């Protein structure tokens, strides 16, 4: 199997697997005061400290959770609930139509419960003009939520500039930065964001583990109740082994990030050149975005059939976000940037990692040409 679906999940790194096994063997609960509990606590806090160091923040600002979906929901629902309780009425939220569904679903839920929600308008590659955000901010804007790197297009937003505009009006800013670590630089103080969400399985850590950054001095009410873990922000017994393994994986991924970025740039260019001979193929991804992602459309070929044919040929790819797989709906990201529904349904995402080789992308390109021929016949 040639695995080209790193944007969905990065295979767990060997160093993370070893770290997970080591920490999972500890019997104690990290909240317990006895020696076994404190041994688990040491691993938990080491994992947290590694994550904090990679993002240049204080470990006390890093909340362990189950991943990006939980973190996105926590910020959108927690911040808006607190704002509404303070003001006695719904307010205003700004986000974008190319967000992950973990942001769009709570945004639409808020909209159905009286909140005014502004969805900014992207350009053809999914970028957002800072002036558009400036013009959209209102006196009752409670939160701005805009991703950093898009999971389907690789588009990278100018997060620091966007955050600065929100901060000038005193509006908190949340960034879904799930796709950045290990490929793109993450500097949370430099960005100036209030909240940020991450998933460990995107950088080679375990699935079901993530982190929520809450800037020092800011508050975020819990959305679940029942315990004092994570400063009361996210109650529940922590996944000690998962957090420790995630930290170990991130330490290594960040140490290799510059080399990984250069490798992915070369792979992306090589793959794009190789698939350019397929009749009618067009590219959708941002040419100056994350080199991890290639998104393309093959007119006249059904995306689901393409994926099945590729799978039979030994290539794993995606039609978009793994969280939306099986919905039979065209990608909301692609339709937001102007593709028709038929074109969106004829589109695929290929995403690469440090272990991907030039030979693999060449083989995958040939397989795609064959899959396209089968799907069109």
Per DSSP, 323 falls in state: G
Q: For residues 262 and 312, what is the distance between their CA atoms, to the nearest angstrom?
A: 31
Pick the catalytic residue: 24, 313, 323, 369? 323
> 209 to each of 44, 52, 206, 221, 369, how far by Cα in Å?
12, 15, 6, 20, 37
- Which has the closest alpha carbon to 215: 188, 235, 233, 190? 188
Q: For residues 96 and 216, what is the distance between their CA atoms, to the nearest angstrom?
A: 26
Q: For residues 343 and 335, what is the distance between their CA atoms, to the nearest angstrom?
A: 9
Q: At residue 212, what are phi and psi to the nearest 5 degrees? A: -120, 120
Q: At residue 265, what are phi and psi to the nearest 5 degrees? A: -60, -45
Question: Three-state DSSP class for 297?
Answer: strand
293, 180 contact by CB (below 8 A)? no
Q: Is 323 a catalytic residue?
A: yes
Q: What residues have CB less than 8 Å from 256, skipping those under 6 apart? A: 182, 354
The DSSP element (H or E) to which 116 belongs, if any, is: strand 116-119
**Distance separating the N- and C-terminal Cα atoms of the chain:** 25
The DSSP element (H or E) to which 293 belongs, if any, is: strand 293-297
- Which has the closest alpha carbon to 153: 98, 97, 72? 98
- Which has the closest alpha carbon to 339: 312, 364, 320, 361? 320
Question: Residues with catalytic annotation?
Answer: 323
């Amino acid at each position: 199997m040639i695995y080209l679906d790193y944007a969905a999940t990065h295979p767990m790194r060997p160093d993370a697997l070893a770290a997970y096994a080591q920490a999972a063997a500890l019997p104690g609960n990290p909240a317990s005061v006895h020696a076994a509990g404190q041994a688990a606590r040491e691993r938990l806090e080491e994992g947290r400290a590694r994550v904090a160091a990679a993002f240049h923040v204080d470990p006390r600002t890093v909340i362990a959770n189950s991943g990006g979906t939980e973190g996105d929901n926590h910020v959108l629902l927690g911040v808006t609930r607190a704002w509404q309780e303070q003001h006695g009425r719904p307010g205003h939220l700004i986000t974008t139509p190319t967000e992950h569904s973990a942001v769009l679903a709570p945004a639409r839920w808020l909209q159905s419960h009286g909140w005014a929600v502004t969805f900014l308008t992207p350009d053809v590659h999914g970028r957002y003009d800072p002036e558009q955000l400036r013009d959209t901010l209102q006196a009752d804007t409670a939160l701005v939520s805009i991703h950093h790197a898009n999971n389907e297009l690789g588009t990278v937003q100018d997060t620091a500039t966007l955050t600065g505009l929100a901060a000038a009006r005193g509006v908190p800013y949340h960034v879904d930065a799930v796709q950045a670590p290990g490929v793109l630089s993450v500097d949370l103080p430099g960005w100036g964001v209030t909240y940020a969400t991450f998933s460990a399985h995107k950088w080679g850590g375990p699935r079901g583990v993530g982190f929520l950054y809450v800037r020092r001095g800011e508050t975020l009410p819990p959305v679940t109740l029942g315990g004092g873990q994570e400063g009361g922000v996210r109650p529940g017994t922590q996944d000690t082994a998962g957090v420790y393994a995630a930290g170990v994986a991130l330490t290594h991924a960040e140490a290799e990030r510059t080399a990984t970025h250069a490798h992915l740039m070369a792979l992306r260019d090589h793959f794009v050149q190789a698939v350019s001979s397929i009749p009618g193929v067009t590219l959708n991804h941002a040419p100056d975005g994350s080199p991890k992602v290639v998104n393309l459309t093959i007119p006249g070929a059904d995306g689901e059939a393409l994926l099945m044919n590729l799978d039979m040929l030994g290539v794993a790819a995606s039609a978009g976000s793994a969280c939306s797989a099986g919905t039979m709906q065209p990608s909301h990201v692609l339709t937001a940037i102007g593709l028709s529904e038929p074109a969106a349904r004829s589109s695929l995402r290929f995403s690469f990692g440090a272990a991907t080789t030039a030979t693999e992308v060449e083989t995958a390109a040939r397989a795609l040409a064959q899959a396209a021929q089968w799907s069109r016949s």
